[in-house]
Amino acid sequence: MSEDDSRPPFSDRLGNGAFLAVMALARLMPYERRIPAVGWLFSHLLAPLAGWRRRIRDNLALARPDLGRDEVAALLRAVPDNAGRSVAEIYSGKEFTDRIHRDDPLEGPGLPALEAAFDAGRPVIVACAHFGNYDAMRAALAGRGWPVGALYRPMNNEAFNAHYVPAITAIAEPLFPRGRAGLSAMLRFLKGGGWLALGFDQHDHNAPELRFFDLPSRTVQTPAELALRYDALILPIHAIRQADGLRFRVHVGLPVPHSTPAAMMQALNDDLEMLVRRHMGQWFWVHRRWK
């Protein structure tokens, strides 16, 4: 294979170059202007080009047919704006994590159980979603000195992945890539008393049907199955963006009692639905959650 053949495709390199150029310009701005500026770019430029608005509209028509035209229009702007802000925060590195650690925004009825698990060295499954800023949640837990790891899916664009993984690793580690080696390391970490952040809010065609927004929704069972296998505490934790668009509250929900995987995951779906209904613009309505 020639050196050129081993390089990412030109389209990937072009897209990655455009992204890096935007982020380089954004970093010239102070943090308080940078985060909303990138949010505006995602909302007004990326979302229409990437087809996000159509997907958001389609999902809202399924899950919230009661919303009026103005409410839908506001969400077509708010959802990509939150996504853009989250990307800008990830690529702000220490500026972002220092703010999270300084504010120590953890709260909620499950916090005492989380503290007790740390004191006892008990494994924890952090059930999380594409809501607010997932990495603000990881930063808040790591800021307490708690051993939070996460599973991630490497990006298809290898050029982008080369800087994305170091950016998310700088927020908190360890990170485990999906795949056989990553899975083995992840299970050793959990078995040794580590805490593992696992998402559960995307469609999984191999998973059983549960309910989300009262719609049939195939929901991954892995968080509950691992909690049962390793006697781990399992509870929902979500970072809620505040009205200024820059600060967060990181809400620790009540632990989910161990029962069956389906019942445990349905409880997490129900908890997430209540949260999304209160903060509609902060969940990533772009995913094809219902198929």
Q: Are the CB atoms for 257 and 189 separated by under 8 Å?
A: no
Give the integer Cα–Cα distance in Å for 189 and 196: 8
Burial (CB count <10 Å: 0-12, 13-18, 19+), residue 244:
exposed
- What does the pLDDT average to over 266-277? 98
pLDDT(5) > 80: no
Can you tell me which residue has the tokens 């059983």? 208
Beta strands in the chain (DSSP E): 106-107, 124-128, 148-152, 175-177, 195-199, 209-212, 215-218, 233-241, 248-252
Residue 91: partners with Cβ closer than 8 Å, 6 or more residues away: 23, 26, 27, 167
Residue 201: partners with Cβ closer than 8 Å, 6 or more residues away: 129, 130, 131, 212, 272, 283, 287, 289
Q: Are the CB atoms for 279 and 240 separated by under 8 Å?
A: yes
pLDDT of residue 10: 83
Q: Are the CB atoms for 117 and 233 separated by under 8 Å?
A: yes
pLDDT(42) > 50: yes
Length of the chain equals 291
**Two tokens, residue 48:** 């229409």
pLDDT(3) > 70: no
pLDDT grade for 80, boundaries at 50, 70 and 90: very high
Can you tell me which residue has the tokens 């445990």? 264
Give the whole-number percent of the chain exceeding pLDDT 90: 88
Give the integer Cα–Cα distance in Å for 71 and 6: 47
pLDDT of residue 152: 86
Can you tell me which residue has the tokens 């853009």? 84
Q: Are the CB atoms for 136 and 92 separated by under 8 Å?
A: no
DSSP-assigned letters across all residues of 159-172: HHHHHHHHHHHHHS
Give the integer Cα–Cα distance in Å for 120 and 112: 12
CB atoms closer than 10 angstroms to residue 35: 24
pLDDT(247) > 60: yes
pLDDT of residue 153: 84
Q: What is the pLDDT of residues 194-217, one digit of tens each?
A: 999 999 999 999 999 999 999 999
Task: Return mean pLDDT, the chain.
Answer: 95
pLDDT of residue 2: 46
pLDDT grade for 4, boundaries at 50, 70 and 90: low
pLDDT(193) > 60: yes
108 DSSP 8-state letter: S
pTM attached to this predicted model: 0.93
**Three-class SS state of 216:** strand
**Two tokens, residue 236:** 């929902």
pLDDT(119) > 90: yes
**Which stretch of 107-116, 173-182, 267-276 has the lowest confidence by average pLDDT?**
173-182
**Three-class SS state of 224:** helix
